[in-house]
Structure formats: structure tokens, C-alpha cells
Amino acid sequence: MGEQKTVALIAHDGKKQAMLQFVRDHRAVLERYELIATHTTGKLLSDELGLTVQLMLSGPIGGDAQIAAQVAEGKIEAVFFFIDPLTAQPHDPDIHTLLRICNVHEVPLATNPATALFIISGRAL
């Protein structure tokens, strides 16, 4: 039997409630995957929904970079990264690295709930 596929979940502070609602709405699909997340996002999902989530570091202290490395290694099937475009992020270079790595390795990437819905309900997963 093959290794279970992994989906990464990340949300800026201003988008954490949108991520929580998205995961709540699509739990049946997401539970078929290993879930990995930056620390604060993953802890929220675990605490609120009881999901098992592998926690990386918080985004500003390296979590986005940790997830980017796993994308580059072919370990992540899709990335749902709800970005707050109206708030400056101190770790912007790490964010751009993750976005770039997803594009280089052609890993589906959603930066908002509308795109995430398209990916989760389409053939991308």
C-alpha cells in the first residue's frame, strides 16, 4: 500500500477563521490526507476540530520554510495558504520561497478560499 498523501494548511492571522471554516466545511475530504501546518494554524485546527495535524514551526520563525522544503522533496500533494494581502508580514521572503517552490514543482497552491474550493472539489487532489 502506498504512502498517504499530505496536504499543507497555512493561514495568516487575519485569515485563520477562514481556514477554520474551510477545513470544517471540507473535513470529509481533508481527513483522507495527512495534514501538516504551521504551528498556530495547526494548533487551531487541532484544538477546534480535533484533527491530527503535524505541527511545524510558526510561520515567522521558519514554518513556511519547513513546508517549502517538504514541497521540494515531493512530500506534499497540495498547499492551502490563506494569505492576508492587506497586512505586511515580517517573514515575507519565506512566504515567497514557499510560493516559488510550489510553482517550480507544480504543486497545487491556493492562497484564498475560492481557489482552495476549486482544488479540493476538482481533480487536483
Could you say which of 13, 25, 47, 64 is catalytic?
A: 64
Tell me how many degrees the CA angle 63-66-69 measures, rounded to the nearest 5.
150
**94 carries an active-site annotation:** no
Q: Which residues contact 57 (CB under 8 A, 6 or more apart)?
A: 38, 39, 63, 66
Roughly how many angstroms between the first and final C-alpha of the chain, as a whole number? 18
d(CA 64, CA 57): 8
> In the numeric block, which cell numbers belong to residue 62?
521558519
Cβ(12)–Cβ(30) under 8 Å?
Answer: no
What amino acid positions are annotated as catalytic residues? 64
